[in-house]
């Protein structure tokens, strides 16, 4: 009976640690169609500060990625993209129909930089 109780206690302790650890998980999805470019990243919350610094310097804008944000970010000219974020998650949506090729290239470079920062 003692062995069963010890086994259950160890199981709960292991599950509790596994569920609360901020492991090194990383999931990046990109969808690029004729009308839309979508980028989504799920990452360890501990990398939020590093990503925030990168985006602040790349966009010349301070973005609080550890809070729930949903905003449009203006690029040069009339191009803009929708950025949604919270700690451990980021999504970028870019509508190609109402934007220039230069804006698309800039967003692609930005997401490539995000991938690199999150992979470090």
**What pLDDT sits at residue 31?**
97
- Secondary structure E strands in the chain: 26-32, 36-43, 69-74, 80-86, 89-95
Closest CA to 26 of 59, 53, 51: 51
Give the contacts of 73 (CB within 8 A, at least 6 positions apart): 59, 61, 80, 81, 82, 83
In degrees, rounded to 5, the angle at the alpha carbon of residue 40 between the alpha carbons of residues 100 and 94 is 15
Per-residue pLDDT at 4: 66
pLDDT of residue 1: 67
Q: Report the pLDDT value the prediction gives residue 51, as an integer from 0 to 100.
A: 93
Q: Which residue has the tokens 């010890």?
A: 6
Q: What is the pLDDT along the chain (120 residues), one digit of tens a residue?
A: 666 655 565 655 555 555 545 567 899 999 999 999 999 999 999 999 999 999 999 988 888 888 899 999 998 778 999 999 999 999 999 999 989 999 999 999 999 999 999 998
In the chain the domains, ranked by start, together with CATH numbers, are: 23-119 (3.30.160)
Report the C-alpha gap between 75 and 108 in whole angstroms: 12
């Amino acid at each position: 009976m003692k062995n069963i109780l010890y086994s259950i206690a160890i199981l709960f302790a292991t599950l509790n640690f596994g569920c609360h650890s901020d492991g090194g998980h990383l999931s990046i999805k990109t969808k690029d169609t004729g009308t839309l470019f979508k980028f989504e990243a799920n990452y360890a919350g501990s990398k939020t500060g590093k990503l925030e610094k990168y985006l602040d310097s790349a966009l010349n804008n301070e973005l609080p990625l550890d809070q729930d944000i949903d905003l449009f970010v203006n690029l040069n000219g009339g191009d803009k993209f929708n950025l949604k974020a919270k700690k451990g998650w980021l999504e970028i949506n870019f509508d190609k129909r109402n934007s220039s090729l230069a804006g698309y290239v800039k967003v692609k470079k930005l997401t490539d930089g995000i991938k690199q920062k999150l992979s470090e």
